[in-house]
A and B are shown apart, each in its own frame.
Chain A
Amino acid sequence: MEEKLISHQNMISLVSDLIKANHLVIGQDDKSIGWKRIADAAEIKINHSGIPSNVSYKEFVFAKTEPIFYYKNKKDDFDLVEPNLEERKIVFLGSKPCDARSIEIMSKVFNWDYKDKFFNQRAENSIIFGVACNYQDEFCFCTSVGLTPTTENGSDIFLVPLAENNYAFRIVTDKGKDFIKPYEKYLSDGNSNLSTEALSKIKHPEKRFESEKVRKWITGNFEHKLFDKVGETCLGCGQCAFVCPVCHCFDIVDEECNYSCGRRMKNWDACQFGLFTLHGSGHNPRDNQGKRYRQRIAHKFKYYTDKFDEILCTGCGRCSRGCPVGIDIAAVASEINFVANQV
């Protein structure tokens, strides 16, 4: 790892160059709702001490809606046409550690056996400028899922806010190193003592639960009343899945443009929806909200870990912050820990 230094002014120049080089620079929007393409370098906002955006930036890698092919009807036959894929580099600017790992985590499911090129192409083109996180509220729980506010893993470049609007500019991966080469003029020599000191001042959220305990507990407690209790007030709105940086379930639907052509779309979907698992026969294996919530917890802390050795959660707390009925996933996991400890 190499340590450099960049001033805020140079950061603006760097971003300006990146935009000119026709890279897609993705930054957080002003209202902290979501992420958007930055058109003007002066607008950049590196959110290291503010609340995470409502919605994560996963849509730029795992699109909320995208065509997977187009079809054209010719007399008795069809032409299937591949969509064009985004070939530009996608630069995520100011990704907190709880976002920075999201692409790596999701790439496991998009690559076991069958490879999803739509995800992969964008994932490979992504350059992640992570930033040490100096924000913490009662919903943050990165430390319960193996991350910390200073985790560099997942970032290609890692920024550490220093005094006087400077950032320590740590080059974490080879991908980051290659990418930044043409722009080295904006970097000056870094002093790792400064960044180490800055990092040491960052408070880590208290660990709220052991995810391994949740994983083990679910196996024998699939029918536990705890899930029904959550399901009782859960509205099944699915905002939790849509704001989550690693929820990746999707739907496939066709859209007609007219009588002779159309496209097949891959759209975000959520396990909290009743229709998600509804069979054609009318049978539904997850026929109440408790079962659907169990799927959410189990997928995150058990199934994904069993299959891919990753926790499908980064502890960003978005789902809990946004839940209209106050369901806090970390509180549920903590309760599971508590129940598991009782036995």
Chain B
Amino acid sequence: MNELREKAKELLNAGTVKVIIGYAESTTPNRTKPIIVRTIEDADKLVFNKFCVNNLAIYLTRKEYKNKGTVGIVAKGCDVKAIVQLIQENQINKDDIYIIGVNCSGVVSELGQEFSSETIATKCLNCSVRTPHLHHTLIGAIEEMPKRNDHNFETMQKLEAMSSDQKWNFWEAEFERCVKCYACRQACPLCYCERCIADKSIPRWIESSAHTRGNFSWNIIRAFHLAGRCIGCNECERACPAEIPLSLLNRKMGMVAKKEFDYTAGIGLDTPTLVGTYDVNDREEFIK
């Protein structure tokens, strides 16, 4: 903790960064919340623990921080994936950010819970970036991470085995609960469009009503917009008040990208983006 705070103070004092986006203790136990640190005093509020679930990269594309000097950010490996993806997509400039990387040994899936093998987030189970793959400074140490079965993957396998009708029924029941709050979009670091297609009205591509048609078009179109771009932080799923298992869609898209194009979003800073490139030898087996 001290390491993080001292580093933050040093960066602020030296003028290396103007602000640091990090985590602070919440007023309630087993939770943290994002904090925007501008002063030395606030730097003492910074924490990093098992409850730092949020992907803070979401704030990097905000107007307040874009092109306004170097922004410091406390980032786990999975958050760095989002940062890398944003750099690849030219949404942020690599030189405008200062990554305080933290070695991570897992975070909880839902805030408020105790951390255990039961509650560790799905995204941590197969994490390949426990030491952030891009950072300007690195703090903390790698500890042993609790293990559990990947229930999410088990559900995916069940879905794979289903017929189209069964899949439709499954998703219809899940989307039924959607209230169209768009919390999934707002919580997503890669949903940075200045004007989302859901908000466009001439023509209206996606009906804003929370009925079957509107819910399907929204959730499916969002999944497609994230294909090969989603870095799997699962913030959408966590933000969803209706607990729709959005990760099943996004993870499937990611697996297709991996299988067909050997591409993983948010890993290689110098790899061109999947949807931004074209190769005549691209396989097209996913188009059915």
Contacts and interface: CB of A to CB of B under 8 A. Distances in A.
8 contacts: A64-B179, A139-B28, A235-B183, A238-B181, A239-B183, A268-B210, A321-B112, A327-B33
* Centre residue among B183, B186, B207, B238 by max chain A CB count within 10 A: B183
Interface of A: 31, 33-34, 54-55, 59, 64-65, 138-139, 232-233, 235-239, 241-243, 251, 253, 255, 265, 267-268, 270, 273, 275, 321-322, 324-328, 331
Nearest to A251: B208
Contacts of A275: 199
B260 interface: no
Interface of B is mostly: loop
Interface stretch (B5-13, B131-139, B239-247): B239-247
B179 A325 contact: no
Query: Top 5 closest A-B pairs, CB basis?
Result: A326-B33, A237-B186, A237-B183, A65-B209, A324-B239
B180 interface: yes
Interface size on B, as a range, is 35 or more
Given A239-B239, A324-B239, A270 B177 contact: no
Contacts of A267: 180, 208-210
Contact of A242 (B54, B112, B179, B235): B179
Nearest to A269: B208
B33 A322 contact: no
B18 interface: no
Interface of B: 26-29, 31-36, 54, 58-59, 64, 111-112, 177, 179-183, 185-187, 199, 204, 207-211, 214, 235, 238-243
A326 B210 contact: no
Given A237-B182, A238-B181, A324-B183, A253 B35 contact: no
A34 B27 contact: no
Given A65-B211, A322-B241, A237 B187 contact: yes
B179 A324 contact: no
A337 B26 CA distance: 19
Nearest to A31: B243
B210 A238 contact: no
Contacts of B27: 138, 328, 331
Contacts of A55: 177, 179, 241-242
